[in-house]
Amino acid sequence: MRVWAIDEHRYGLISHQRRCWGLRRVRPHAPYRTKYDWGYLSSALEIDGKDQAVCVFLPVVSKEASASFLHELAATDTQAIHVVIQDQAGFRPKAQDEGLPENVRLLPLPPYSPELNPVERVGDLIKDATGNRVFGSLEEMEKAIEKEISPLWSQPSRVRSLVGEGWNRSQVNAISG
């Protein structure tokens, strides 16, 4: 059995301002641009186990896009049962929906509780990669995001640092032990 937490993160060409260091009594200026074009990063972090991460860029969020991400997640290990912890957003597939992979079980988080989902921290990585910068296209922005999150795929310790040692890991260990 493999336990995952999943979430989507929106990124776009509207610049977002982040705090930054500057000289005393000098206000730093960050570039800003307003262009309404965005995409979504679907990401999953494994809680305990192999500490893997799966991330996919998507143009939209919908039930179909979420289901395709679950199929991608299930394909990482076809022999395992994948327990997926997710929020209750309207575009999420429900446990009784048709078309879900046979080896995926969905476990909803309580409503309005993003602090319980460790994947929310991936959003900070996206903001680190894109804050105080202007991008010409979504592809250029996706390259910057990919560069920031690529250590998640090769370094399980980075995934462990995002998941932490909180209730998620202790509950998974209690159930599997």
Per-residue pLDDT of 111-132, as tens digits, reads: 888 888 889 999 888 988 888 8
Annotated domain spans of the chain: 2-15+30-176
Task: Domain 2-15+30-176: give its CATH superfamily.
Answer: Ribonuclease H-like superfamily/Ribonuclease H (3.30.420.10)
**By the 8 A CB rule, do 172 and 3 touch?**
yes
User: Integer distance in angstroms from the first to the last C-alpha of the chain?
Assistant: 12
Which residue in this structure is represented by tokens 């186990």?
A: 49
Instruction: Say what the pTM is.
Output: 0.83
- Paired strand residues for 53: 45
Distance from C-alpha of 165 to C-alpha of 148, rounded to nearest angstrom: 23
The model's pLDDT over 20-51, given as tens digits with 9 standing for 90+, comes to 777 888 887 777 777 788 899 999 999 877 88
Integer Cα distance of 153 and 46 in angstroms? 11
Q: Of residues 176 and 27, which shows the higher confidence score?
A: 27
Token pair in block for residue 119: 């994947």
Q: What is the pLDDT of the chain when averaged over all its residues?
A: 87
Long-range contacts of 92-98 (CB under 8 A, 24+ apart): 92/63, 92/66, 93/63, 93/66, 93/67, 97/63, 97/67
Return phi, psi of residue 67, to 5°.
Answer: -65, -40
Contact 48, 172 (CB under 8 A): yes
Q: What is the pLDDT of residue 165?
A: 66
Give CA–CA dist 144/105, Å, rounded: 33
